[in-house]
Amino acid sequence: MSIAVAVFSAFFLIVSMIMTRGQEQMPEDGRFRPMEALKELPLMVKDFWELMKLKTMRILLLFKASFNLAFGLYNATMVFFLQYRLGYGDEVTSTVYTIQTIMNLFAVFLMSWLGIKLGKSTTIILSLGLAGVGCILFYIVGIHSYFMLMVFIVMFSVAVSCFWQLSGAIFYDITEVDEFTFGKRREGAITSLQAAMGSLVTALAASGFSVYMGANGFDATLTVQSESAMRALDTLFLLVPGIAFLVACGILFLYPLNKKRFMSLQSALRLKGQGRDYSQYEEDLKRIL
């Protein structure tokens, strides 16, 4: 499996390199100077600080943090839930991850189509909202069979696939907000900032899982765990991700940059660059900025 993943990854990386050859932004003399790159760090911090001043960026960072909390806990607790709550072994764990991969493959096409029909934000709110309600219902009812587990895995996988498929495009929309506000296009800084936020929250979720389970009596040396440890596992695997998904939906609902306002922003940006009046878009700009 490792060899197969390595071969496929290498193949697509090489294809990407070949298809983009000649478009690299290199120094004039073709040399890379590490020390000069380090001098750019203060500028990077300045970029992050300015981006944080944008209302749209703050909203999306909170949205990303809520999602990554759910996703981080799901990944951290999956194997423990299968082993200690359901009593399944490695063969079921492998099946679960295989089903996730298959669902991600199909969900990519479905979510792309829905994203075009309904809009990116609406599609994400719909998928995460349904998954959030589903997680809470499963927490109340419990997962007691292989079939119920598969339903839960499919539901969660589709929501996660929707997020990864569409959220990146939403973050890139901030580029125009940044250009209108500060006169700069910083796609790289926007990507770096949201990726750093996601990684930080995911790491905190994994660390918090260990601390919370230990505080509730989890003992890795025991085959059968205490009831308090099992309740804690249910909370972290089902309840908290469900709540985090619903919080993410609520935050994204506040996101002001819909399709109509984005078109207004682009028109205002074009007129501003030409030194012309763009007051007809003032109402939409107030909502965005």
pLDDT at 185: 84
| pLDDT level of residue 40 (50, 70, 90 thresholds) | confident
Q: Lowest mean pLDDT: which of 27-36, 56-65, 161-170, 248-257?
A: 27-36
pLDDT value at 278 more than 80 = yes
pTM attached to this predicted model:
0.83
**Residue 121 in tokens:** 């934000």
Contact (CB, 8 A) for 163 and 67: yes
Q: Using CA atoms, how far apart are residues 287 and 210, in angstroms rounded to an integer?
A: 42
pLDDT at 32: 67
- Residue 145: pLDDT above 70? yes
What is the pLDDT confidence band of residue 168, given thresholds at 50, 70 and 90? Answer: confident
Would you state the pLDDT for residue 30? 62
Residues 6 or more apart whose CB falls under 8 angstroms from that of 254 comprise 59
Whether the pLDDT of residue 25 is over 80: the answer is: no
pLDDT score at 28:
65
Q: Average pLDDT in the 93-118 region?
A: 87
Structure tokens given for 264: 């207004």
Q: Which residues contact 139 (CB under 8 A, 6 or more apart)?
A: 234, 235, 238, 239, 242
Q: What is the pLDDT of residue 260?
A: 85
**Which range in 92-106, 154-168, 215-229 is most confidently predicted, on average pLDDT?**
154-168
Kindly report the CA angle at 162 between 191 and 136, in degrees rounded to 5? 115
Spell out the CATH class of 58-255. mainly alpha
Domain boundaries, the chain: 58-255
Taking the chain, what is the end-to-end CA distance rounded to the nearest angstrom?
Answer: 48
Q: Kindly report, residue by residue over 4-13, the tens digit of the pLDDT.
A: 999 999 999 9
